[in-house]
Structure 1
Amino acid sequence: MSFVVVPASYVYLLRDGNDGTEVLLQLRQGTPYMDGHWAAAAAGHVERGETAYAAAQREATEELGITEVDLSFEFTMQRTQGGEPIDERVDFFFTARAWVGKPRIVEPDKAGELRWCPIAELPSPMVPHEAFALSQLGTSHRYLSHGFDTTGGQP
């Protein structure tokens, strides 16, 4: 049996709101994964020969129609689904507070809504590993794990 690790990049656009920091989220629809759940407004697989940083930039343009995204690396997450037969994942999480253009749904077949949400009051349901990631923003953690038999997601 071969072992496959699938890399992905996530972009959380952030802004200051009346109730603290807000994050732009999308409601997933028309996809085979977590339809009806809230998730990063821009995210996707890193393609062969592409860096995680370049993938984040590309996804922000493809999914939100924005460019020149001023990305800040937050952390990497290694995840699995606790014994289910899926490939393991390595996710790279970025935030941005500056970009060019107004974020909009570019792929309406994959996203039903975009919404600015206070990080302290995330909508439900959220994609579980992304809810965990958002709870770790602003911490000093640079490595997270999710879905393994560990406590607290840290090594």
Structure 2
Amino acid sequence: MTDRFVVVPASYVYLMRDDEVLLQLRQHTGYMDGHWAAAAAGHVERGETAYDAARREAAEELGLADIDLRFELTMQRTQHDLPIDERVDFFFTARSWSGEPRIMEPAKCAELRWCRLDALPHPVVPHEAHALASLGKGDPYLTFGF
């Protein structure tokens, strides 16, 4: 018999315009503070779909509504034998929405910035850098940390 583990799901939203993506600079979250990351992201709650979580996070973190999500990829990631770090991440892009993206949680986000995909700021959360590099490449399943 093998030990079972819990998988923690999360949704990520990359707002896109032309060849740019909107990123946030994380602060005071306890995870990857000082790193650039998706402008909106968070855990999928019980009874919520990954799409619903992405819409909720875009509203909570950026003040956006009517976001037109496009599923891009799923990433399974781990930190080997640490069960809390067994993750499945759902990555979405959006090119249309209602409202102007703004920092809704200033305690957790130091800055929002439009960044060229070919000139991302440093550092980017490592698994998100992997996802960003894979956007548009047609592979809907990625792994990280294995």
Picking from 91, 102, 107, the partner of 1:104 is 102
Picking from 75, 85, 88, the partner of 2:86 is 88
Percent identical pairs in the alignment equals: 72
Residue by residue, what CA displacement relative to the aligned partner does 1:50-73 show, whole Å, maximum 9, x if unpaired?
Answer: 000000000000000000000000
* Separation (CA, whole Å) in 1 of partners of 2:85 and 2:79: 9
In the superposition, the TM-score normalised over structure 2's length comes to 0.96
RMSD of equivalent CA atoms:
1.0
Tell me which residue corresponds to 1:7: 9
Contact 1:22–1:117 (Cα < 8 Å) also in 2: yes
Q: Using the TM superposition, give the Cα deviation of residue 81 of structure 1 relative to its aligned residue in structure 2, in angstroms.
A: 1.9
What SS class does the counterpart of residue 41 from structure 2 fall into? strand
In the superposition, the TM-score normalised over structure 1's length comes to 0.90
Residue by residue, what CA displacement relative to the aligned partner does 1:11-52 show, whole Å, maximum 9, x if unpaired?
Answer: 000001xxxx00000000010100000000000000000000
Residue by residue, what CA displacement relative to the aligned partner does 1:98-151 show, whole Å, maximum 9, x if unpaired?
Answer: 000000000001000000000000100110000000000011101000000xxx
Contact 1:43–1:60 (Cα < 8 Å) also in 2: yes
The reply to whether residue 22 of structure 1 matches residue 20 of structure 2 is yes
Residue by residue, what CA displacement relative to the aligned partner does 1:68-109 show, whole Å, maximum 9, x if unpaired?
Answer: 000000010000124445330000000000000000000001
| Gap runs ≥5 in structure 1 | 149-155
Instruction: Give matches, 1:109-128, under 5 Å.
Output: 109-128=107-126
| Gap runs ≥5 in structure 2 | none
